[in-house]
Structure 1
Amino acid sequence: MRSGAVVMAWNVFRFCTALRGLGSLMILIVLGIVGVSYYAVVVAIYGPALLTAGWLDSLLAAGVLVLFHLLLGLLLWAYFSVVTTDPGSVPPHWKPVIDEEEGETAPLASSEFTSHILNLQQPGPLADTGNPRIRYCRKCNQLKPPRCHHCSVCGRCVLKMDHHCVWVVNCVGALNYKFFLLFLFYTFLETTLVTVSLFPHFIAFFKDVEIPGTPGTLAATFITFGVWNGQEILVHPSIFRGGFEKNASPARTQVSHKAKSGCTVALKG
Structure 2
Amino acid sequence: MHRSGATMAWNVFRFCTGLRGLGSVMILPVLGVVGVTYYSVVLTNFGPALFDGGLDSLTAVVVLILFHCLLAMQLWSYFSVVFTDPGSVPANWRPALDEERGETNPLNGSEFNGLQSNPSNQRIRCCRKCNQLKPPRCHHCSVCGRCVLKMDHHCVWVVNCVGALNYKYFLLFLFYTLLETSLVTLGLLPHFIAFFTDVEIPGTPGTLAITFLAFVLNLAFALSVMGFLIMHMSLVAANTTTIEAYEKKTSPKWRYDLGWKKNFEQVFGTDKRYWFIPAYSDEDLRRMPALQGLEYPSKLDFDSQEF
Give the TM interval when normalised to the shorter protein.
0.7 to 0.9
Q: What per-residue deviation string (whole Å, max 9, x for no partner) do you get for residues 199-255 of structure 1?
A: 0000011111000011111111111111111112321112223136331179xxxxx
Alignment partner, residue 60 of structure 2: 61
Contact 2:98 2:124 (8 Å CA) reproduced: no
Change beyond 3 A, Cα 1:27–1:10: farther
| Alpha-carbon distance in 2 for matches of 1:210, 1:130 | 79
Structure 1 match to 2:247: 248
* TM-score, reference length from structure 2: 0.68
Alignment partner, residue 208 of structure 2? 218
SS at match of 1:234: helix
* RMSD between aligned residues: 2.9
Unaligned runs of 5+ in 1: 102-110, 118-128, 251-255, 261-269
Per the alignment, residue 131 of structure 2 pairs with 141
Partners in 2 of 1:29 and 1:247 — Cα distance?
29
The residue correspondences of 1:1-269 to structure 2 (distance < 5 A) are: 12=12, 15-51=15-51, 53-98=52-97, 100=99, 112-114=108-110, 131=121, 134-241=124-231, 242=233, 243=235, 245=242, 246-248=245-247, 257-258=254-255
TM-score scaled by length of structure 1? 0.77
**Structure 1 residue 176, shift from structure 2 partner:** 0.5
Letter in 1 for 2:81: V
CA distance in 2, matches of 1:86, 1:131: 32
Q: Structure 2 vs 1, CA of residues 25 and 215 (structure 1 numbering), >3 Å: closer, same or farther? A: same
- With CA pairs under 8 Å and 6+ residues apart, which has the higher RCO, 1 or 2? 1
List per-residue Cα deviations over 1:35-57 (Å, max 9, x = no partner): 00001111110011112x13211
For 2:161, what is the secondary structure of its paired residue?
Answer: strand
Q: How many residues align?
A: 228
How far apart are the structure 2 equivalents of 1:49 and 1:138?
61
Which stretches of structure 1, 4 residues or longer, exceed 4 Å deviation after superposition? Answer: 8-11, 129-133
The 1:70–1:239 alpha-carbon spacing in structure 2 relative to 1, beyond 3 Å, is: same
The one-letter code sitting in structure 2 at the alignment partner of 1:169 is V
Q: Which runs of 5+ in 2 are unaligned?
A: 101-106, 114-118, 236-240, 258-307
Identity %: 65
